[in-house]
């Protein structure tokens, strides 16, 4: 397998894991497994110089759920890069540069294991609360947040500001709820996430959640020079902050991390690590950001907790693409407050490498208190009852075949799990947005009505639902109405809905904007597709191959025949001021924040880069610019002030 193929597989796998974790509060893999896959992808991207358009390195988190109103944060919320050793932490600290006051260099806090939320205050009142979402847009949860007693509804400061913090459940509360019989909750993190994202605020109130603030992302009329100053502001305004806060040099920070790891199980809440930040916020801002992380802060992850159990059986689950993934069913075991009964294995190679068979005693780890991971067999010898890959799909009986490291069902036309997942994807929000159509609905229609392909959705009538449990007259009318409305759709949504391998919503939008019509995309050559920014060899091959496949092309024709009408993409009216140019933005800007300027550059045809090189066309420089400005001067790259940048656009 070449590097690009490996990147393609890693990207698909990581995106599936992220969707499960951030959108469904589920975790089909351990943090340790996710981190290893992510780190491998980062390494391959650095080695090849290629980043796939749907790579998880572009983004943080997942998309907002349709059940809640969308909310755009004033300033983007970032994730944190992470380290697992003292040496890696020292290396990061060295990159932060030297300061004169070593004793006040870093600030150390607990890393709560909960759900990040963003509070907006204006005029001294809490006016909005939202989940982190994808970092730019989150889910509006104001009513739910107001039920959390540690969140003040009013504050002394009357200017507008955003507060980031962690919503969590105390262990004592979890135990009390379980003992009372009111609820049976597995662990505090999932309990908090489920409560804050419940449509009924009464459920949130009953869970007795807590909140701790750790950052002011945006504020009018004030600027903080240090983290200590910012935390003082939060306290002054009645916002609870981390009860543990240590300020010192990196060696003393490392000692405190060791002490915190030892006492973590004495706390009344779960922490899965520590957060280390530069106390000097001006310096931290000057260090800038990667695509996903601020450079002036990092998380130290605690070692995962382990247990042993016995593998009772291994089944094979079939996904939308036909890939069969092995699932280990294990003897129930308690691990970090949860009863573990299943563990996901990556593929058949993973089974062989870890020497896992039926009856094997295995080491199992639950990293970040979310999902178990089989590390290896306790016994180094080969298993007595080895597991072999199925020659036929366990669901439809079709032959299976290996494609690289993964096993696939060859029956893409009538394998129920594949069709179920494809229908659910087709109806999802970013695709055809068929309201009320879930994976359970798809499974019911397949099993009870005999639905076998996507075009048949548009041939359903009220009689099709006759006798189906749970489908009354109103529900039938609603779902048929939603299906009918989806006939008129945006071209990008339609392309995404088709489920072309490696074509996420961003790629669908890019190719739709480029070609403008479905006919143009269907007739596109590989060379034409490669001319689009961020479309590489693999994606181009997948798109061409999809539309050249006779059976798939026939289904597209059938959808059009049944009245599905993708609207041609509107051409942007913005002039391509920066067409073919690469710009780097640095420093603090007053008219628009850095991310807004970068989005504007992209809209005007340019590319916003994170580092300065000889290929950089301009560096847009705000106040307190640091090393990027020095690099631009060293290389002779033209530097634009904020005023000059906007003047160039306006003229």
CB-based contacts of 33: which residues, under 8 Å, 6+ apart? 346, 367, 373
Each residue's pLDDT tens digit, 452-470: 888 999 999 999 888 888 8
Yes or no: domain 1-58 corresponds to CATH 1.10.287.610: yes
pLDDT band at 20 (very low <50, low <70, confident <90, very high): low
> Percentages helix, strand, coil for the chain, rounded to the nearest 5?
40, 25, 40
Is 80 exceeded by the pLDDT of residue 626? Answer: no
Q: How far is Cα 539 from Cα 52, in angstroms, rounded to an integer?
A: 8
Is 60 exceeded by the pLDDT of residue 572? Answer: no
Each residue's pLDDT tens digit, 366-407: 654 456 878 788 887 889 999 999 999 998 888 999 988 889
User: Angle formed by the axes of helices 171-180 and 188-196, to 10°?
Assistant: 80
Is 90 exceeded by the pLDDT of residue 482? Answer: yes
Catalytic residue among 8, 105, 111, 607: 111
Which residues are 621's β-sheet partners? 586, 641
Q: What is the pLDDT of residue 497?
A: 92
What are the angstrom distances between the C-alpha of 373 and each of 231, 304, 359, 383, 507? 37, 10, 17, 18, 32
Each residue's pLDDT tens digit, 255-272: 999 888 878 877 888 888
The fold of 70-301 is D-amino Acid Aminotransferase; Chain A, domain 1 (3.30.470)
Each residue's pLDDT tens digit, 349-373: 889 888 899 999 998 876 544 568 7
pTM check: above 0.75: no
Residue 34: count other Cβ atoms within 10 Å of its Cβ.
Answer: 23
Q: What is the pLDDT of residue 60?
A: 45
Is 80 exceeded by the pLDDT of residue 651? Answer: no
| Average pLDDT over the chain, rounded to an integer | 84
By mean pLDDT, which of 63-67, 253-257, 287-291, 584-588 is the weakest? 63-67
Radius of gyration of the chain (CA): 26
Residue 618 near residue 640 (C-beta atoms within 8 A):
yes
How do beta strands 361-367 and 305-318 pair? antiparallel
> Any idea where the domains of the chain sit in the sequence?
1-58, 70-301, 487-571, 582-650
Yes or no: domain 582-650 corresponds to CATH 3.40.50.10190: yes
**Phi, psi of 263, deg, nearest 5:** -100, 5
**What is the DSSP code (8-state) at residue 446?**
I
Residue 101 class from Cβ within 10 Å (0-12 exposed, 13-18 middle, 19+ buried)? exposed
* Domain with residues 487-571, CATH architecture: Orthogonal Bundle (1.10)
Residue 403 near residue 373 (C-beta atoms within 8 A):
no
CB-based contacts of 66: which residues, under 8 Å, 6+ apart? 429, 435
186 is catalytic: no
Q: Where are the alpha helices (DSSP H) in 114-249?
A: 142-145, 171-180, 188-196, 201-206, 227-236
Q: Is residue 308 classed as helix, strand or coil in its secondary structure?
A: strand
Q: What is the pLDDT of residue 432?
A: 92
Q: Is 168 left (phi over 0), alpha (psi -120 to 50) or beta?
A: beta
User: Angle formed by the axes of helices 537-548 and 550-561, to 10°?
Assistant: 70
By mean pLDDT, which of 268-282, 470-484, 507-521, 565-579 is the weakest? 565-579
116 vs 536 pLDDT, higher one: 116
**Phi, psi of 466, deg, nearest 5:** -60, 125
Q: Is residue 1 classed as helix, strand or coil in its secondary structure?
A: coil
């Amino acid at each position: 397998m070449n590097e690009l193929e490996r990147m393609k597989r890693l990207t698909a796998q990581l995106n599936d894991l992220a969707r499960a974790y951030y959108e469904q509060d589920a975790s089909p893999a351990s943090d340790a497994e996710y981190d290893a896959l992510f780190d491998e992808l980062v390494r391959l991207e650095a080695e090849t110089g290629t980043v796939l358009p749907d790579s998880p390195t572009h983004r943080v988190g997942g998309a907002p759920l349709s059940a809640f109103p969308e909310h755009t944060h004033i300033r983007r919320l970032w994730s944190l890069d992470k380290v697992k050793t003292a040496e890696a932490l020292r290396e990061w600290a060295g990159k932060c540069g030297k300061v004169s006051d070593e004793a006040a260099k870093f600030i150390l806090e607990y890393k709560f294991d909960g759900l990040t939320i963003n509070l907006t205050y204006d005029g001294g009142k809490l006016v909005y609360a939202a989940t982190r979402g994808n970092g730019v847009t989150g889910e509006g949860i104001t009513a739910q947040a107001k039920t959390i007693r540690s969140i003040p509804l009013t504050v002394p400061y009357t200017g507008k500001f955003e507060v980031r913090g962690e919503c969590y459940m105390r262990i004592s509360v979890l135990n009390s709820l379980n003992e009372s019989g009111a609820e049976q909750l597995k662990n505090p993190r999932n309990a908090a996430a489920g409560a804050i994202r419940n449509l009924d605020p009464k459920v949130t109130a009953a869970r007795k959640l807590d909140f701790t603030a750790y950052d002011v992302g945006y504020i009018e009329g004030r600027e903080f020079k240090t983290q200590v100053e910012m935390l003082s502001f939060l306290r002054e305004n009645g916002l609870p902050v981390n009860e543990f806060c240590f300020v010192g040099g990196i060696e003393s920070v490392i000692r405190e991390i060791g002490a915190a790891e030892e006492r973590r199980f004495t706390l009344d809440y779960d922490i899965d690590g520590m957060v280390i930040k530069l106390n000097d916020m001006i310096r931290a801002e000057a260090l800038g950001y990667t695509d996903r992380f601020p450079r002036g802060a990092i998380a130290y992850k605690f070692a995962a907790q382990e247990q042993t159990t016995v593998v009772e059986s291994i089944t094979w689950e079939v996904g939308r693409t036909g890939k069969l993934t092995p699932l280990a069913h294990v003897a129930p075991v308690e691990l970090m407050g949860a009863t573990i009964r299943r563990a996901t294995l990556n593929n058949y190679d993973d089974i062989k490498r870890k020497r896992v068979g039926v009856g094997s005693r295995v080491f199992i780890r639950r990293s970040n208190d979310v999902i178990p991971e089989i590390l290896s067999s306790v016994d180094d010898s080969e298993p007595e009852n080895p597991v072999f890959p199925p020659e036929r799909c366990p669901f439809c009986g079709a032959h299976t075949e290996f494609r690289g490291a993964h096993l696939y069902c060859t029956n893409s036309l009538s394998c129920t799990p594949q069709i179920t997942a494809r229908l659910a994807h087709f109806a999802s929000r970013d695709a055809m947005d068929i309201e009320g159509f879930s994976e359970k609905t798809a499974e019911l229609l397949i099993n009870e009505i005999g639905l076998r392909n996507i075009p048949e959705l548009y041939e359903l009538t009220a009689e099709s639902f006759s006798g189906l449990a749970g489908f009354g007259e109103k529900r039938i009318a609603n779902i048929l109405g939603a299906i009918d409305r989806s006939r008129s759709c945006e071209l990008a949504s339609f392309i995404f809905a088709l489920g072309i391998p490696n074509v996420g919503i961003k790629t669908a939008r890019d190719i739709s904007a480029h070609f403008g019509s479905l006919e143009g995309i269907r007739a596109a050559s590989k060379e034409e597709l490669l001319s689009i920014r961020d479309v590489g060899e693999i994606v181009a091959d997948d798109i061409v191959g999809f539309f050249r496949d006779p059976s798939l092309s026939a289904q597209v024709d059938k959808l059009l025949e049944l009245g599905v009408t993708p609207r041609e993409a509107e051409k942007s009216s913005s002039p391509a001021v920066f067409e073919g140019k690469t710009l780097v933005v640095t420093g603090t800007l007053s008219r628009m924040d850095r991310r807004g300027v970068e989005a504007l550059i992209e809209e005007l045809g340019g590319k916003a880069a994170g580092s300065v090189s000889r290929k950089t066309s301009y560096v847009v420089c705000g106040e307190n610019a640091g090393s990027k400005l020095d690099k631009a001067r060293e290389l002779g790259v033209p530097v634009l002030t904020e005023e000059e940048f906007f003047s160039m656009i306006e003229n």
